[in-house]
Amino acid sequence: MIPFRRSALAAFLAAVSLSACSSDSSTAPTVTPVIGASATAVSSSAVKLSFSSKSGDTGYNIERAEGAAGTFAQVGTVAAPASAGTVTYTDANLKVTTVYRYRIITVRGTTSVASAEISVTTLAFGSAAADLTTDITTSRTLYADTTYTLKGFVHVANGATLTIQPGTTIKGDYTILGSSLMVLRGAKIQAVGTADAPIVFTSSRAAGQRQAGDWGGLIIVGNAPINRSGSVEIEGSGTDGQTVVGGKNYQVLYSGGNTPTDNSGELKYVRVEFAGFAPSLNNELNAFTFAAVGSGTKVSYVNAVAGLDDSFEFFGGGFDLSYGVAFEGEDDQFDMSEGFQGRLQFLISYKSTNVPIRTGAGSYATDMEGIENDGCNGSGCDLGFDTAPFTQPVVANFTLIGPASQSITGAGGGFGMMLRRGTGGYYVNGVLARYPAAGISLRDAATFARAGSAVIPNLATADLAVKNVYIAETPLAFQAPSATQNAFDLAGNSITHGSAITAASLFASIPATGAAPANGETAFDFTPATNSPIATGGLATFTGKLAAKAGTAVVGTAYLGAAAPGGAKWWQGWTNYVRN
């Protein structure tokens, strides 16, 4: 009987033990959803979530879904605070004016539960407004949900970095003549937009009322060398004297730099509209002004629209620029001088008419060109046109279209390229069309000497060459030779003069001469048309000094112009083609 009793006792204890284990496993911590959950759009790209925690919670998983029917996915986690209280989480890098749904997963131990969904829409670009009235002396960010107005001459000072979010709009105040943004030597600008959300500098006036010269422009000053000695002032600066006063147009110098690799930041997908300021003749701010900017600076996908003076002007220095578009600029579209050593590839300019200009900001140019390049000119050129460093850029894959009318370009202008005053450089794989004077003006003995004084420059030794260029709807390939004019051999340099070929026939779509682009961006397709002569004929392999200068930044192509046959239409989606 005793063994039986022991067996029964063991069975009883085992049953009690199993019962206890079963009871423990079925008792889970009580989890309830968070309370007071809310979502607030704090910008065009960010949402802030807020909710109340409870004692005993372990943490929270944040899930997000885009649109009314999107699938939820985890985007972040938040640890529970030590004691109950308010918890916040900011979700960034979102799309503008887009609906997002959120739910918050409360975690307690190994068990979790989801809250109800919360819906929110991110803000539109420029929902708020703010003024920029004085110099920026410490690093600052401009946000896309705010439209900023430049009220006067705002300088980013030495040591400060100005960061601008994609989609941000900055307006120049029309009521203060010449309002501008100047990034000074030692400062940086990080203005990196996207094709869907470019950064736009424009007039404070409403569309349809805007004019060239409504405000000053974007000026970047670096610490790279130029070829002029002495104190050289940014054109258009100094109208308020030399004393540094925030918001005033005090004198800004750019000479004396000695750092070729200087870094002024980055511009990408940036548009400058209706800019320009000329307090006196030949003393002008441009849409984009780059003065002594060094090779550490990055510039790509930039667009100048209806500027009073040059669309892009480069004074000395040297950096790489790719994918640049100039539309209806009132002077030169690309102007390089004072020892500019940069490399430019994939450039478009379209000039068809004189757009209205703001009273008091300046006047129409009398010598508009597609490209106007000079060596050294003015004070501080100690050896005249032979002052080093020479202006020696690489300019490749350019499509420059002019107005075909001398009345628009001015009596001294109307050339696709003006090369003068001892300039050098390599100009390859380009298209020049609709220029009323000539495709190219090759002036003075100092400039011709850069090419070895040869009609077919030798790339092994020459500092100047024009190779593989197509010239259409233009009376002369080169301005007629004279005591001050020179010309290169056409066949020997693969330069084609199709005087009877219309510009429109070269491209998939461009407006007729002088016609307003009524349908905006879709009026322009710079891709070579079917069977277009510019679809072939490019210099695909660089040699000699051209190859050394181009490095890996500029590559040869089998086609001419800024767009590859069947290739990406890289200008679409972020450029603008309006006259007011």
Residue 575 has a pLDDT of: 96
Do β-strands 415-420 and 438-443 pair in parallel, antiparallel, or remain unpaired?
parallel
Structure tokens, 91: 């979700």
Burial class for 72, CB neighbours closer than 10 Å (0-12, 13-18, 19+): middle
Give the burial string for 181-198 (b: 16+ CB within 10 Å, else e).
bbbbbebbbbbbbeeebb
Q: What is the structure's pLDDT at 46?
A: 93
pLDDT for 281: 79
Q: Which helix (H) or strand (E) holds 218?
A: strand 217-221
pLDDT in tens, 390-437: 999 999 999 999 999 999 999 999 999 999 999 999 999 999 999 999
Q: In what order do the strands lie in the sheet with 86-91?
A: 35-41, 47-52, 86-91
122 CB-near residues (< 8 Å, 6+ apart): 41, 43, 44, 45, 46, 47, 94, 95, 96, 97, 98, 100
- 0.75 exceeded by the pTM? yes
Residue 4: the pLDDT is 41
CATH 2.160.20 assigned to domain 128-508? The reply is yes
DSSP 282-301: TEEE-SEEEES--TT-EEEE
Per-residue pLDDT, 309: 93
The pLDDT value given to residue 283: 87
The conformation of residue 530, written as its DSSP 8-state character, comes to T
Query: For every residue of 26-65, which 3-state class applies, written as one string?
Result: CCCCCCCCCEEEEEEECCCCCEEEEEECCCCCCEEEEEEE
Tell me, which fold does domain 35-121 have in CATH?
Immunoglobulin-like (2.60.40)
Q: Which residues of the chain have pLDDT under 70?
A: 1-29
pLDDT of 13: 43
The predicted structure's pLDDT at residue 507: 97
- Domain-by-domain residue ranges, the chain? 35-121, 128-508
